Structure 1
Amino acid sequence: MTRRRTAATEEHTAFRRALTAALRGEVRFGAAERTVYSHDASNYRHLPAGVAKPADLDDVRAAMALCREHRVPLVARGAGTSIGGQAIGPGALVLDFRRHLGRVLELDPDRRTARVQPGTVLDDLRAAARPHGLTFGPDPATHSRCTLGGMIGNDSCGSHSLAWGRTSDNLHSLDLLLPDGTELTVGGPTTPAERERLRRLPGRAGELHRALQELADGNLALLRQGFPQLPRRGSGYALDALLPERGHDLSRALTGTEGTCAVLLGATVRLVAAPAARALVVAGYPDETAAADAVPALLPHRPLTMEGMGADLIAALLAAGRRPPALDRLPAGGGWLFMEVGGDTPAAAEAAARTLAEDARRGHGATVTVLTDPDEQRQLWSVREAGAGIVTRLPPDPSQPEARGGAEAWPGWEDSAVPPERLGSYLRRLRALLAAHGLRGVPYGHFGEGCVHLRIDFPLGRPEGRRTFRRFLEEAADLAVSHGGSLSGEHGDGQARAELLPRMYPPELIALFARFKRIWDPENLLNPGNLVDPRPLDRDLRLAGLPERRLPLVFPYPDDDGSLAKAVHRCVGVAKCVDTSTGVMCPSYMATGEERHSTRGRARLLAEMLRGEAVPDGWRSREVHKALDLCLACKGCASDCPVQVDMATYKAEFLYHHYRRRLRPASHYSLGWLPLWLRATALAPRAADRVRRSPALAAALRRAAGIAPERDLPTFPAETFTRWFRRHRATHPADPAAPRLLLWPDTFSEHLEPHIARAAVAVLEHLGYAVEIPDRPVCCGLTWITTGQLTTARRVLRRTVRAVPPDIPVVGLEPSCTTALRDELPALLGRDPAYGDAARDLAARVRTFAETVDRHTAELPALPGSAITQVHCHQHAALGTDADRRVTAALGLDNRVLDSGCCGLAGNFGFERGHYEVSRAAAERVLIPEVRAADPDTLVLADGFSCRTQIAQLADGRRALHLAEVLHRALDTAP
């Protein structure tokens, strides 16, 4: 045994060395990289041997050759959002195509084709085609991050497949690499003469074409009769595409093979003309089964889409966060059909929509809304697109009113499909099957093609969970087949459903699947264990093997039963965090492009740390620390992630345990204790400023404090805000009859930018408030929280709670501090018997400066002009910006809120040594170029101290203003 293990280790080492020497791209075999690539969006976990990110196609060829030589399986991977387990493989080399092979190589608008690399993101292709009035028809909900290679591997569809078909309907040709190194291009339907020519090709290519034609010609009756005929059949190999009447269509037969037959080097895809105008018809029915019953009668209108969902999806959305205003446009009902129609003009699109709406009313008594405004349509579509993430947490069970939240819901029976005319019956039976097993789920999906998405609260973390999982999937497979359906209608089979294929196909066809796989991959190197000779569907579950022992934790995790393991397993791989096109999440991933720096990657590492296998060092893990070190704690994931993975909280928890009773980095003592250092500086501000202005002393201070040498130190004002306020109040007594407000003197407004707090006092007093401040120093504890010094943070917060008088609204100026008072204060003190009630009471009284001013917009003077706004990440995540937008609109400002994400400074992060490059890259993505390009007369608004500092230090000294300063300026210039 020892000799075998030693030989295997030596072979593994030899493979790693050979791969590193042969490839120009990155080759990673460390525990961190293996961990973050051990999951996709499925229920399964498979640790790969290693990960390679090929720099070019030569790297792909070299990797394939070395895998063949060393007998290492190979798994090609795009965005890693496969729901069946297709993008992971035990002991495999994972090839990640996103990093370097993601370009649109050529676009021909006349022929309506495009040549793409396998890692091309769908939205990038659509953006390239848009100026020509074209698009790629299939559009899955993950369009902002899914790759064309992954779409071809799974034969992806999306909501518009009703009009434009699946990926396999939109391909011209595929460029392939076989395991033996053979390269060939396969296309669509061929003539008998072309097939004869292919048979006569020399070498491996001719051998392959002969074998494939013989497979088809020898089994014509089986291929014609063995496959169900329905719009969405995503299970098994599409061998009926090899029939002579279908032109022996190899590109279609290979689409949906899940990387088990060949590796894609590139593809030429077909584009379609996008309608010049669209309108959306939303029809309401008593429930989703009634909506499904209405589908067949409405299909003759040939809508572009026909999506269905029920009231429980809306309930899941509301349980997940704030209520989107778009829901006000939903017509009455408990189930809905979303039907989009197109036209050459807006009038034509609206006319088609009105006709469809009238038919929906007459035929099944639907309540109907017609939307023609593109923004309103986008807002409602966002509800449907978010479904894949939202329903990973079910809404609370009405039968259990004492439960705080809903159960976790998992894939497995994610996208079954039946003929549309049988969809209503299937949904009713499926609901009954769920009830019979004591399970819950939220069905929704592509009702126009009979495809149902459904995540289910399988008890996978409990001992009986595997048995429940298996029994349900077996019975659900039989139910779908009894309705003439497919186990999968969109996402493929993978490990989740391949074992069930014999319930859908006869044994002779299952044998043909194996024969087809051997023709392409005789040595079974490509993604083994999927589709052919599948791994059992209830093995390798990622929740299996997790420790049941509860860890002592600081944060309460109330929505996760107090469990960090349950919290990190919120991440189900939807991968919105690797969408680099918009939003706050995840700034470090946007800067580095490294999977371990995404929210998803960090969640996987924390989960593996808790498991204790690949990452065995627990809280002392260097791999987890390195990944979390570049987390900006921006909280973007807490709002942008569909399941509210809160990495800022997990990072603080980890740092607390990692450094407990250990020496910390210098920045934790300098920046983490910043409020106290600044309080000391305020005793001698001139001396402190002399140190700042001395290059030698400032450099020494940076080194000692762990501050990045590229950073300028802040200036220190001669007087703190509190001192000014006491002088001000002595000469300007408050009106005792005026409503009272307590203005929070956060560290930055108190010690670094007191002019902002002074401006806020002027504005609030102008609006009639009696402004107060605490009679002793207070702090939200944020700097200690972000550095994981949670024991100290609790002490600080207890003193703060004692210092704040009761029954008075508290107004915050700094978004990060305001968020800490609303969220972290009750989280850290909520269970404290002496302070819990007071902490919750204080948190409930905290509001933003804009929320206070928003009550007086009619009293504000005009300040016409243009402005751009950088929203602080914590405000985006926790506080919201509706009030800010109303206030700037009341001023008459033409204000554009930047979609710039995190500024990159993020409190202590951007000041810490080793973080400057990532911090600057995050800022240079959108924010700094926008500020540099803005007209000198354009106001730059940024309520966050970090945002203003980053702008000042990187945007050529351009100064950003707090909203309080802008309002003060408006008052000063008013008649």
Structure 2
Amino acid sequence: MSVPGLEKALRAAVRGDVDFGAAQRGVYAYDASNYRQVPLGVVKPVSPDDVRAVVALAREYGVPVLARGAGTSIGGQAISPGALVLDVRAGLGALAADAVDPGERTARVGPGVVLDALQRAAAPYGLRFGPDPSTHSRCTLGGMIGNDSCGAHSVAYGRTSDNVRSLDLLLPDGTELTVHGPRTAAERAALLRAPGRAGEIYRALHALSEEHLMTLRQDFPTLPRRGSGIALDALLPERGFDLVRALVGTEGSCALVLGATVALVPRPARTELVVAGYADETAAAEAVVELLPLRPLTAEGMGADLIRSDAARERLPKGGGWLFLEAEAGEHARAIERAVRAQGAAVAVVADAAGQRALWRVREAAAGTATRGPDGQEAWPGWEDSAVPPQRLAPYLRELRALTAEHGLRGTPFGHFGEGCLHLRLDFPLDTPADGRFRRFLTEAAGLAVRHGGSLSGEHGDGQARAELLRLMYPPEVLALFARFKAVFDPGNLLNPGNLVDPRPLDADLRQPGLPRTLPLADGARRCVGVGACVADDPAAVMCPSYAATRDERHSTRGRARLLGELLRGTVTGEGPITDGWRSREVLGALDLCLSCKGCASDCPVHVDMATYKSEFLHRHYRRRLRPRAHYALGSLPRLLRLLHAVPGAGRVASRALRVRPLAAAARVLAGTAPERPLPPIPARSFTQTYRPCPSPAQPVLLWPDTFGNHLDPDVLEAGAQVLTRLGFRPLLPAGPVCCGLTQVSTGRLDAARRTMARTLGVLARTSADLPVVVLEPSCAAALREELPRHLPDDPRAAQLAAKVRTFAEFLDEHAALEDLPPARAELRGALAQTHCHQHAVLGVAADERVAARAGLDVRRLPPSCCGLAGNFGFERGHHEVSVASAERVLLPALRAEPAARVLADGFSCRIQIAQLADGRRAMHLAQLLRELLP
């Protein structure tokens, strides 16, 4: 096979993107499983014709093909070694305007349609798609069909296979056919008379069924969540020769889906969430059986170890294990509540939609939370998806607990208790799989599930993780029928080979070996488990703005973590697509569009902090090398501005010069900043040059003169000092220049950042007594609280300073008597508030909300989103387009919708972005807003 020849042929035949580069191959070598399989290349088709062309060329060149949706498969079925990966999300993800047929309660979907998009389209008709995995914001209908996905509501609405009416298929030989659900006897007879390749397929499948009726009737266990193997029993005559059911769940190993007609179900007008608390998750598993006759819409279970948030714990009733029982509002919910109380369980009933969403987010995040134990130990999939009849769940859970203890493993179960499906990630020693413990445990656990009448998989499919173990669930003659069924559709074994049929060993191709633990970057590469929250189809979240702008997996948090993993693996083992280590241009290119917004540090279920990893990579990549000019200009901005303001009159001259277009353009060239981005105006004098604290016996506080406020927007610090003074405090300044080092951290100049931080600690040592430190700039407060102790872990003064840092709102919330403020005039009360990304990720806004309420303000906080400027990012060359696109996600549309509203933005970057992209609109800091209220 000629790889360059295939690539050239694909580029000529396909309108979508074709990429055989190291970066894309590294990104698509992973799904959400334990495995790593480097593909040959990645194709992003933009139409079914592209898919047809790819399959034809793959057949000609003898290359396997793997169609993939969001890549969140946990069994390893969304990766394939040496394959052409078809990422169907972007080009095959649009819904037609008439996709939903409310009369028939159906929808026509392509394989790349994201579930949430379908739900939004169906909602105006009072309809929804029944199955809803926790990855609903990014999983595609094609992926759901491949895995036969379920989700929380399948206890009421069934699995994907119960909700698909027809499938439009493309076979490896180019044949296209549409298969349907159960057929009448007359329809089945007509299928057998069909001409051509389609008729051959129907007759071969009919023969398979007729020759093995007894096997198909006796050797397939009956339980709600039988997700393992191929549903050949659907071919039985009493099942109506249901080809849809037989093909759903075959993991793309038999045919490619070009389209599907899916059923929709009525959406309840209102729901309530009955949360029941029990002693532990086993007690919850026992209790759920009595509640199933009441037909709850969900019956989800989880244990206490997965509740890591105090806020979440406060919402839950007392207990060590819980059931989440959704019901239609009214009598249905009351009946379930009465039944739970009769069991003696603690109960909380949540009727408001916001409260329900908050609790469901806790449950949905469990797939990520479960990857780390309460003590921080790593936990991995492998046996995360078994299912047994619900009546057997409690005894199965007890025996499974005993088995994990026998093998010295730990993990916290959760899952779909109403259908007997259990999710459990365990701290397998996957760095050293040669000791055999991984294989021994999975083999014994599979035997345990089978003894309880269960399935190795309840909804995630088999893939490489479990297909080898199907021999414990099915006799040899059934496994032979699986191979025969695949061969009917794919005789050349072109589609996703090595999964359901002739599987690869379950302990081969593990991704953990080769990843060192000694570097912060290794933590990111290991920590990311691929659940894909960063590629969600949701614009109202901070993470990940560059992916939202580009829709390129390389620019997602997950994609970057995988490339860092490939870098480290190549450095250690010398194998893989990235072998040039810290000099890697591929990794640099992927990280270049990372805004360092830190949204992933809070929004990612496993808290991958890509801003920190980017800083470490840039530090190593440019070590003893020339950097881009912007790294010097923007990274050294605090020092440059301090020198500028140290020269009398220089600030005024610089400000005037920047208003002259040729001089401003020259300054941008000299600094290496984006030509599209105006440099911010420079005031004549800094805040520290003009501020004089008034002698007073009032309580002293240390006011932090951050670079942005001190040298670029001194009125913010002036407002902060005035408000503090009027509220009875005496703001003091440090004994000399101080800096948190953030601009050096964000540009990867970590050695310089540590020197800056050390000098700052020295200055503060000369400053008066142990005072609270009030920081008005959120990014600086976050850096002092988090980056300072991280970079100077051996200096006790770093942790001491971090503990004293308070945002302006936090200090007022803790110490100020805001209730004594005079009532605000109506025109001063209202404001739209944009939250700085670092505040969202590190500090939170709870204090800001309390201060606004106590001061009588009507502050409406915009949904979390990055403004797009993100410190130095928006000023760097090549970033303007992504910067503007990030602002267009939430911020700019919200401002256009309310052109007269006052805007609150504590972050300097946010205020600059608003001024430059919202027609000069002025945003103010909370201190400036409060100053207007004070006499």
Shorter-normalised TM range: over 0.9
Q: Tell me, yes or no, if the aligned pair for 1:173 and 1:268 is still in contact at 8 Å.
A: yes
Partner of 2:641: 678
Q: Give secondary structure in 2 for the equivalent of 1:905.
A: coil
Partner of 1:354: 334
Partner of 1:488: 457
Q: Give secondary structure in 1 for the equivalent of 2:502.
A: coil
> Could you tell me the TM-score, scaled by structure 2's length?
0.97
Partner of 1:400: none
Query: Aligned partners of 1:861 and 1:486: how far apart in 2?
Result: 67
Partner of 1:90: 81
Partner of 1:509: 478
2:631 matches 1:668: yes
Structure 1 stretch 251-260 or stretch 566-575: which is displaced more?
A: 566-575
Structure 1 stretch 854-863 or stretch 69-78: which is displaced more?
A: 854-863
Q: Tell me which amino acid in the other structure corresponds to 1:695.
A: R
Q: Give secondary structure in 2 for the equivalent of 1:193.
A: helix
1:310 to 275, 299, 303: 303
Q: Give secondary structure in 1 for the equivalent of 2:35.
A: coil
Alignment of 1:291-302 (within 5 A): 291-302=284-295
RMSD: 1.2
Q: Tell me, yes or no, if the aligned pair for 1:903 and 1:923 is still in contact at 8 Å.
A: yes
Partner of 1:606: 564
The Cα shift of 1:463 comes to 5.2
Query: Aligned partners of 2:235 and 2:514: how far apart in 1?
Result: 44
Q: Tell me, yes or no, if the aligned pair for 2:276 and 2:323 is still in contact at 8 Å.
A: yes
Q: Tell me, yes or no, if the aligned pair for 2:93 and 2:113 is still in contact at 8 Å.
A: yes
Q: Give secondary structure in 1 for the equivalent of 2:923.
A: coil
2:11 matches 1:25: no
2:393 matches 1:427: no
2:361 to 382, 398, 408: 382
Partner of 1:346: none
Query: Aligned partners of 1:360 and 1:775: how far apart in 2?
Result: 63
Query: Aligned partners of 1:538 and 1:862: how far apart in 2?
Result: 68
Partner of 1:592: 550
Alignment of 1:652-801 (within 5 A): 652-682=615-645, 683=647, 684-726=650-692, 729=693, 732-733=694-695, 735-736=696-697, 738-801=698-761
Q: Give secondary structure in 1 for the equivalent of 2:888.
A: helix
2:492 matches 1:530: no
Q: Tell me, yes or no, if the aligned pair for 1:409 and 1:458 is still in contact at 8 Å.
A: yes
Q: Give secondary structure in 2 for the equivalent of 1:511.
A: helix
Q: Tell me which amino acid in the other structure corresponds to 1:885.
A: E
The Cα shift of 1:335 comes to 1.3
1:916 to 877, 880, 883: 880
Query: Aligned partners of 1:387 and 1:485: how far apart in 2?
Result: 23
Query: Aligned partners of 1:54 and 1:463: how far apart in 2?
Result: 37
Query: Aligned partners of 1:437 and 1:948: how far apart in 2?
Result: 56
2:805 matches 1:846: yes
Q: Give secondary structure in 1 for the equivalent of 2:386.
A: strand
Partner of 1:460: 430
> Could you tell me the TM-score, scaled by structure 1's length?
0.93
2:834 to 870, 874, 883: 870
1:539 to 490, 499, 508: 508
Query: Aligned partners of 2:153 and 2:331: how far apart in 1?
Result: 20
Query: Aligned partners of 1:326 and 1:34: how far apart in 2?
Result: 39
Q: Tell me, yes or no, if the aligned pair for 1:354 and 1:370 is still in contact at 8 Å.
A: no
2:534 to 569, 574, 577: 577
The Cα shift of 1:360 comes to 2.2
Query: Aligned partners of 2:292 and 2:48: how far apart in 1?
Result: 44
The Cα shift of 1:74 comes to 0.3
2:882 matches 1:891: no
Superposed CA deviations along residues 15-69 of structure 1, whole A, max 9, x for unmatched, are 1111111100000000000000000000000000000000111100000000100
Query: Aligned partners of 1:720 and 1:959: how far apart in 2?
Result: 20
Query: Aligned partners of 2:878 and 2:413: how far apart in 1?
Result: 47
Query: Aligned partners of 2:730 and 2:640: how far apart in 1?
Result: 31
The Cα shift of 1:544 comes to 2.1
Query: Aligned partners of 1:312 and 1:891: how far apart in 2?
Result: 38
Superposed CA deviations along residues 450-505 of structure 1, whole A, max 9, x for unmatched, are 0000000001013545x111000000000000000000001000000000001000
Query: Aligned partners of 2:67 and 2:502: how far apart in 1?
Result: 19
Q: Give secondary structure in 1 for the equivalent of 2:165.
A: strand
Structure 1 stretch 750-759 or stretch 293-302: which is displaced more?
A: 293-302
Q: Tell me, yes or no, if the aligned pair for 1:900 and 1:927 is still in contact at 8 Å.
A: no
Q: Tell me, yes or no, if the aligned pair for 1:98 and 1:119 is still in contact at 8 Å.
A: yes
Structure 1, unaligned runs of 5 or more: 1-7, 343-348, 397-405, 558-563
The Cα shift of 1:141 comes to 0.4
Query: Aligned partners of 1:111 and 1:694: how far apart in 2?
Result: 65
Partner of 2:44: 53
Q: Tell me which amino acid in the other structure corresponds to 1:391.
A: A
Superposed CA deviations along residues 841-864 of structure 1, whole A, max 9, x for unmatched, are 001100100111223331333333
Q: Tell me, yes or no, if the aligned pair for 1:900 and 1:925 is still in contact at 8 Å.
A: no
Superposed CA deviations along residues 371-390 of structure 1, whole A, max 9, x for unmatched, are 22222222222211110011
1:230 to 202, 223, 234: 223
1:327 to 313, 318, 327: 313
Superposed CA deviations along residues 705-758 of structure 1, whole A, max 9, x for unmatched, are 1111111111111221011212xx2xx32x22x222101000011011001100
Q: Tell me which amino acid in the other structure corresponds to 1:847.
A: R
2:235 matches 1:213: no
Q: Give secondary structure in 1 for the equivalent of 2:167.
A: strand
The Cα shift of 1:568 comes to 2.0
Q: Tell me which amino acid in the other structure corresponds to 1:943.
A: D
Partner of 1:444: 414
2:821 matches 1:860: yes
Partner of 1:644: 607
Q: Tell me which amino acid in the other structure corresponds to 1:26.
A: D
Superposed CA deviations along residues 901-939 of structure 1, whole A, max 9, x for unmatched, are 111111110001111111111111221121122131x11
Q: Give secondary structure in 1 for the equivalent of 2:691.
A: helix
Structure 1 stretch 887-896 or stretch 371-380: which is displaced more?
A: 887-896
Q: Give secondary structure in 2 for the equivalent of 1:104.
A: coil
Q: Tell me, yes or no, if the aligned pair for 2:294 and 2:336 is still in contact at 8 Å.
A: yes
Q: Tell me, yes or no, if the aligned pair for 1:679 and 1:751 is still in contact at 8 Å.
A: yes
Q: Give secondary structure in 1 for the equivalent of 2:111.
A: coil
Superposed CA deviations along residues 688-717 of structure 1, whole A, max 9, x for unmatched, are 123212211111111121111111111111
Partner of 2:932: 969
Q: Tell me, yes or no, if the aligned pair for 2:515 and 2:526 is still in contact at 8 Å.
A: no
Superposed CA deviations along residues 386-427 of structure 1, whole A, max 9, x for unmatched, are 10011111112xxxxxxxxx2111000011000000110000
2:913 to 935, 950, 957: 950
2:902 matches 1:939: yes
Q: Give secondary structure in 2 for the equivalent of 1:269.
A: strand
Cα pair distance change 1:900/1:375, threshold 3 Å: closer
Q: Tell me which amino acid in the other structure corresponds to 2:925.
A: H
The Cα shift of 1:622 comes to 0.6
Structure 2, unaligned runs of 5 or more: none
Q: Tell me, yes or no, if the aligned pair for 1:134 and 1:274 is still in contact at 8 Å.
A: yes
Query: Aligned partners of 1:900 and 1:295: how far apart in 2?
Result: 37
Q: Tell me, yes or no, if the aligned pair for 1:38 and 1:47 is still in contact at 8 Å.
A: yes
Q: Tell me which amino acid in the other structure corresponds to 1:502.
A: R
Q: Give secondary structure in 2 for the equivalent of 1:740.
A: strand
2:118 matches 1:125: yes
Superposed CA deviations along residues 493-536 of structure 1, whole A, max 9, x for unmatched, are 00000000010001111100000000010000000001000000
